[in-house]
Amino acid sequence: MAGEVVALGPDVGDDFQIGNRVCGHANLVENGTFAEYVVMHAYSLVKVPANVSNEQAAAILCAGMSAYQAINRKANLVGKLTVLIHGGAGGVGLIAIQLAKQLGLYVITTVSSQKIEFVKSLGADDIIDYRHDNVTERVLDITNDVGVDLSINPVSSAEVQEDINERLAYNGQVIGLVDLPRNIDVDLLASRGITVSALNLGGAHQSKSDSQNQDLALMAQSLLTILATHEIDSKIEATLPFDQLMDGLEMIKSHRNTGKIIVTLK
């Protein structure tokens, strides 16, 4: 969410004042942010830069923070050259592509055919139409049978399993934003030096770890900084009034969007 501070709790301190424009990732086990007034934990909030709109700020969070956490927290990028980003037109994928390109990685991504031009605009180097191409064959062809150094997978546990079995290079890493496969072959991991990492952004709220809670704000702040300097784009496709909330959710559910859907309460 993004909005204006209208009230402060007793222990918030001096970081925020009434009238500040702020944004943050809400605790998913509490009431959500489709509301005129929202209670947020101060540790997860950051101030919105003057040249960033509330809509842009809200659009970069959650999925964008997951992409940021995958690349800048989970991934070991030493000696890594190639990354496979599944679902490049999705909320995580569209930010992950831009962040990976900033770091100089060669980006391979999977999308459906109607979203190819969209991911081209994000800077993807190679694009695989997962509905018509064999993803594993294409990855191995692109990498000269070496495999990719890193995979960011917000798609399915089955695809995570395929990454482990066939698509990762020696010492490769897959970061799963979905349920991981239940029967991972640990001998295969050991023989090829493969790392499997799980990512659960919202779990920080339940972690009882002050440092992990505060990292939500640090990651959001980093994203806002590069958003403010136009180094990445939150890619808003539509900004809807509140009475069209259900229409926006249906667009997302049916994968008809190629960017972020924002709802305002103005």
Helical ranges in 10-62 per DSSP H: 54-60
Look at residues 199, 220, 239 and tell me which one is the last residue of a structural domain.
199
13 — alpha (psi -120 to 50), left (phi > 0) or beta? Answer: left
CATH number at residue 130: 3.40.50.720
The answer to whether residues 53 and 126 belong to one domain is no
The answer to whether residues 254 and 219 belong to one domain is yes
The answer to whether residues 128 and 210 belong to one domain is no
The answer to whether residues 100 and 55 belong to one domain is no
The answer to whether residues 87 and 192 belong to one domain is yes
Task: Answer whether residue 38 is part of any domain.
Answer: yes
Residues 173/82, Cβ–Cβ less than 8 Å = no
Cβ-Cβ contacts under 8 Å for 123 (sequence gap 6 or more): 97, 98, 101, 107
Task: Answer whether residue 253 is part of any domain.
Answer: yes
The answer to whether residues 208 and 173 belong to one domain is no
Residue 112: domain span: 79-199
Q: Which of 123, 111, 194 is nearest to 155 (CA)?
A: 111
Residues of the chain under the 70 pLDDT cut: none
pLDDT digits (tens, 9 = 90+) for 106-152: 999 999 999 999 999 999 999 999 999 999 999 999 999 999 999 99
What per-residue confidence (pLDDT) applies to 17? 96
Written in H, E and C, the secondary structure of 162-211 is HHHHHHEEEEEEEEECCCCCCCCCHHHHHHHCCEEEECCHHHHHHCCCHH
CATH number at residue 214: 3.90.180.10
What per-residue confidence (pLDDT) applies to 127? 98
Task: Answer whether residue 70 is part of any domain.
Answer: no
CA distance to 26, 27, 53, 182, 209, per residue, from 206 (Å): 12, 8, 29, 24, 8
The answer to whether residues 136 and 33 belong to one domain is no
Domain count, the chain: 2
Task: Answer whether residue 74 is part of any domain.
Answer: no
Residue 222: CB atoms within 10 A of its CB come to 15
Task: Answer whether residue 108 is part of any domain.
Answer: yes
Residues 115/129, Cβ–Cβ less than 8 Å = no
What per-residue confidence (pLDDT) applies to 76? 93
Tokens 């702040």 belong to 221
What per-residue confidence (pLDDT) applies to 63? 94
Look at residues 154, 184, 199 and tell me which one is the last residue of a structural domain.
199
Look at residues 199, 222, 248 and tell me which one is the last residue of a structural domain.
199
pLDDT digits (tens, 9 = 90+) for 132-141: 999 999 999 9
